[in-house]
Structure 1
Amino acid sequence: MVNEHKTIFGKYVLDSLTRSMYENPKTIYRELIQNSADAIDNAVVQGFLKDKTAGVISISIEKNERKIIIEDNGTGIKANDVLPKLMNIGDSDKDKESDKGFRGIGRLGALGYCERLIIETSYPGETIKNVVGWAAKELMTSLDEKNKEGAAELFQRVATRTIENEAVDTHYYRVILENVSDDSLLEKQEIKEYLSMVAPVPFDRAFILRNAIYEYVKKHNFPFDEYTIYLNTEQICKAYTSIIYEGNELTKKRIDEISHLEFFNFNATGEEPLLWGWYGISSFTKQIPEKGNLSRGLRLRKSNIQIGDSYCLVKLHKEQRGNFYFVGEIHALHPALYPNARRDYFFENHVTKLFEKKLRHYFHNELYNLYYFSSKVRSTQRQIEDFVKFSETYEEKSQKIGFKDKEEAQHYERQFETLKDRAEAAKKTLTRIADELTQEPSPKKKIFEKVTKGKPIEVTHITPPVKPKENKIKYVFDDLSSVSRDDRKLIARVFAVVDRCLPDKALVENIRLKIIEEFK
């Protein structure tokens, strides 16, 4: 009988829940922050805080001392509940459908990255604070030893508890990591960038389109949790910006701009909300470069905390690259959409499958068509721009510079007519698209206006230079009046050879000018 056997959880369970749990060490910040967010929510419900704006999560990174402190002013933990809540593993009483952290293992991740982990907490109305600590380095060493010690026995052996006096109205939960072993956890700028995309924080005021998001959320009455989080006294905000860059910090240049936001939402069966999202409208000239654009890609969020990373939703696009033409967020709303233990995606169930089906259809039939539509408009517009540019060159060659020979003059004339035909066809295409988009506002209309704004579209007013008689065509070296006509022809023939052999046309032009200077 199975009942005759007592199940044993070996110590390697702790290895899976600590140093082996997450690929990115920075994940421990997210885990501890989501616990703090739950504590602030509970403090509001119980009346210890007026509202969420009164809640504060403070992160202190002391690089020289290799110490990290994460503290919130939520409920804290009652003295009688301290040991059950902090010493039991995976025994949380939180609700997985409403709370942000619910497995009772989030704090354990920090054990893999410090020498000692300490939790200090005080509850309103109590005059004490509880201090529970774990010798994390000793724990990690014991995991590598060959013995049969159980997970519970090891976890208790490396733990201590003390009680100290505290002010009666004080309430907090403070996590301290001493002698942090991973250098990346102590790099303030890296942690700031990580939290600015992962944490449930407000949009930066510099993101001028943020009000459209808040208005949409308010209009549809969607939950949108935001918390005040400080990193070494600097408030953390989401890193979204309306400018798209290319290059590193030294070569960074602006290549595009997000001018509008588009929104969408889907329900599950019935009227129960499933998800909502927003994305930015730009010119979609190419994938947003990774360098210089921290917020590129559509990001998945639950309770306004990021799920996975920027690649999380790539699998739902028609093309892998599709996710990185956009900046935006997908917010999961349905209570059955809850994160897996690593929080890199959702637990698989029928609602998750519906979520994927709805998003995949939207990505394939809406977003995919947007950046391909932009490509079509830009390609068509480019035919007009190429014609205008060539016309200017043709004019200059005819009136000022001159042609190398009769063949070149004829080539320019034929090229002018070819490009003009293409430009006129392009104008008709753009006019037709514009007419089709006049019916109502749409993402495509915004893209069309953005791509074609300020660009030339008229081609009929551009005419070729007055065609001279054959013996009046201006040639490159006609101005060399001091040189005989036969010598000018010889110089022109030599120059034609240079022009054909040298691919660098700037160098060719420089040689022409030097020849003129030499023989004038």
Structure 2
Amino acid sequence: MNEVIETSIDSKVRIGKDILELISSAMYVEPLNAYREYIQNSADAIDQARSNGELAADDPGTIDILIDQSKREVRIRDNGAAIPSAEVVERLLAIGGSGKRGTDARGFRGVGRLASLGYCQRLTFRSRPQGAPEVTELTWDGRRLRTALADAKSSDLADVVAQIVDVSSAPADDVPDRFFEVKMAGIARQRGDRLLDEQAVTAYLRQVAPLAFANEFSSAVTIVEALEATGPTTELRISINEGEPLTRPHKDFIDLGSTTSGIQEVEVVEVPGIDGGLAALAWFAHHEYKGAIPVGELVKGVRVRIGNIQIGDHRILEDIFPETRFNSWTVGEVHIFDRRIVPNGRRDAFEASTHHANLVNHLSPVGRDVARRCRTSSGLRSKLREFDLTRLEVEERLNVVQQGAMALVARDAELGRVNQLIAKMAAIAKNDIVPEIRKTAMKEEIAIAEEQIALRTRDGSVDPLEIVEAEKRGAYRDMIELIYECSSNRVAAKSLVDRILQRLAA
């Protein structure tokens, strides 16, 4: 019998330097996601400051962002609970070892702080706990990192970190009593230069960050009340280059380009957990559903938030719809409270689980309802367009009849067609898809058209061809009827006939 020999692996585990490349580059393909990671950490620190009593309940949590394109630098500073001086180095050098796991904090993997390291030459963290005499500063050198990654002789993670990280402290002069700061310096030039594009950063943060709704969104009251009923919500005051605080992009009217779609009602949906409790709270802003919402409106699609920070993009829940295209017509959000619904490492999707499946299953009926609303709205617009085109054709044909240049047989045929069109208008007005208020307006327009038939066809109308010799009138009438028959544009044909009659009368 062979003897089994157990071997300890404690001393054989080695983490290589390439983990830094995976964390700083491969995980964060979109540069702007670095802002999300730092805003997320700031939000956790601000919540901690409130819990510690360092930030009063009525004092705003603030994040000030300075973007200096000339120096190619970005600074993000918050007024949350800074890291204690004795813990700064240990906590900021812990990779994948966050102490937040298992807490209510938003981040928990301990890698997000390095999200921008692949995009800048120096990544600096500065921390001053409440009233501390010194500011502790820790800098990751991106240039030295790239050199170390290219060096085949340097392979151990701890050795590489020791080579590329500098730690120092300085007197706390001319700085707030408490703050934490991230500074990206020597930002690399990328296509679009998105990290330094104030407009792009603003649009991104308005969608992702925990901001207050704008005053232009009157439905915000309903949403905020529903969220506050579940517990405290985080809203931060974030400004860029000392500008006005940013707000969420929602408003009462959605600009679709050629038209607008007004918000009509907000539906709030509670999603229960598998074993009870509230897994998530969703809201959907039902509007007129006139078409797909442009990306530039910043509200397209159902968004998902944890700790009031967006996960992924507008496509993250498109599978709740019977056809994914209807997601682009929708305005709504899902706020997740069940910690078992876990974002993946890049926070652009969720880990597969029964709890995530439960979320999707409970939201799918809403997706079907939105699809129905979209189809109904599309059908209604089609009927309204059909009614308007029919009404316009009635008016055009009555104008031709009033012109009086047709033979009696042709005129009667034209009036017969007008009566058919009015019957078509009446049928549209009876369609169940048409709201009652629109039906009333349609009936009024039908009555006007019927009155016009009587006005424009009464006896005693003047024949415009009386000025033509009797033996030529028939030829002129035949020519005029041919013009109407051969023309695809009845208005243009009438204009031509009017000019002919004017010439004959001259």
With normalisation by structure 2, the TM-score equals 0.88
Compared CA separation, residues 457 and 19, structure 1 to 2 (3 A): farther
- In 1, distance between residues paired with 2:217 and 2:501? 56
Aligned residue for 2:247, secondary structure, equals: coil
- In 2, distance between residues paired with 1:389 and 1:190? 46
Residue of structure 2 equivalent to 1:332: 336
Compared CA separation, residues 276 and 488, structure 1 to 2 (3 A): farther
Fraction of identical pairs, as percent: 26
- In the alignment, structure 1 residue 421 sits paired with structure 2 residue 423: yes
Alpha carbons 1:97, 1:338 under 8 Å: kept: no
**Which deviates further from its counterpart, 237-246 or 61-70?**
237-246
Alpha carbons 1:40, 1:52 under 8 Å: kept: no
Residue of structure 1 equivalent to 2:3: none
Q: Among residues 214, 237, 255, which one is paired with 1:228 in the alignment?
A: 237
Residue of structure 2 equivalent to 1:172: 179
Residue of structure 2 equivalent to 1:187: 197
Compared CA separation, residues 383 and 124, structure 1 to 2 (3 A): same
**Which deviates further from its counterpart, 281-290 or 351-360?**
281-290
Q: Deviations over 1:57-87 (max 9, x none)?
A: 1111011111100010111111111111111
Q: Among residues 20, 25, 33, which one is paired with 2:26 in the alignment?
A: 20
Q: Deviations over 1:317-370 (max 9, x none)?
A: 111111122212121121212321111122222211111111123312x22222
- In the alignment, structure 1 residue 46 sits paired with structure 2 residue 52: yes
- In 2, distance between residues paired with 1:318 and 1:261? 21
Aligned residue for 2:116, secondary structure, equals: helix
**Which deviates further from its counterpart, 2-11 or 345-354?**
2-11
Residue of structure 1 equivalent to 2:450: 463
Compared CA separation, residues 507 and 355, structure 1 to 2 (3 A): same
Alpha carbons 1:77, 1:122 under 8 Å: kept: yes
Compared CA separation, residues 43 and 97, structure 1 to 2 (3 A): closer
- In 2, distance between residues paired with 1:398 and 1:505? 12
- In 2, distance between residues paired with 1:452 and 1:68? 55
Alpha carbons 2:312, 2:349 under 8 Å: kept: yes
- In the alignment, structure 1 residue 375 sits paired with structure 2 residue 378: yes
Residue of structure 1 equivalent to 2:263: 258
Q: Among residues 427, 438, 452, which one is paired with 2:438 in the alignment?
A: 452
Q: Deviations over 1:410-469 (max 9, x none)?
A: 453343333333333333334xx78xxxxxxxxxxxxx47x8398424577353724999
Q: CA deviation at 1:275?
A: 1.5
Compared CA separation, residues 173 and 516, structure 1 to 2 (3 A): same
- In the alignment, structure 1 residue 139 sits paired with structure 2 residue 150: no
- Give 1:115-514 correspondences, 5 Å limit: 115-166=121-172, 170-181=177-188, 182=190, 183-218=193-228, 220-234=229-243, 235-247=245-257, 253-290=258-295, 292-364=296-368, 366-382=369-385, 384-399=387-402, 401-402=403-404, 404=406, 409-430=411-432, 448=435, 452=438, 455-458=441-444, 461=447, 462-463=449-450, 465-466=453-454, 478-514=463-499
| Cα-Cα RMSD | 3.0
Q: Among residues 104, 109, 121, which one is paired with 2:110 in the alignment?
A: 104
Residue of structure 2 equivalent to 1:33: 39
Alpha carbons 1:38, 1:100 under 8 Å: kept: yes
Compared CA separation, residues 52 and 33, structure 1 to 2 (3 A): farther
Structure 2, unaligned runs of 5 or more? 1-5
- In 2, distance between residues paired with 1:75 and 1:212? 31
- In the alignment, structure 1 residue 519 sits paired with structure 2 residue 491: no
- In the alignment, structure 1 residue 82 sits paired with structure 2 residue 88: yes
Compared CA separation, residues 492 and 299, structure 1 to 2 (3 A): farther
Aligned partner of 1:231: which letter?
Answer: I
Q: CA deviation at 1:246?
A: 3.1
Q: CA deviation at 1:374?
A: 2.5
Aligned partner of 1:463: which letter?
Answer: E
Q: Deviations over 1:283-326 (max 9, x none)?
A: 21222233x52212221111111111111111221111111222
- In 2, distance between residues paired with 1:10 and 1:407? 94
- In 2, distance between residues paired with 1:103 and 1:144? 26
Q: CA deviation at 1:383?
A: 5.1
Aligned residue for 2:70, secondary structure, equals: coil
Alpha carbons 1:53, 1:228 under 8 Å: kept: no
Alpha carbons 2:405, 2:465 under 8 Å: kept: no
**Which deviates further from its counterpart, 92-101 or 72-81?**
92-101
Aligned partner of 1:353: which letter?
Answer: A
Compared CA separation, residues 403 and 148, structure 1 to 2 (3 A): farther
Q: CA deviation at 1:397?
A: 3.0
Alpha carbons 2:429, 2:439 under 8 Å: kept: no
Q: Deviations over 1:367-398 (max 9, x none)?
A: 22222232344444455544544443343333
Aligned residue for 1:19, secondary structure, equals: helix
Aligned residue for 1:244, secondary structure, equals: strand
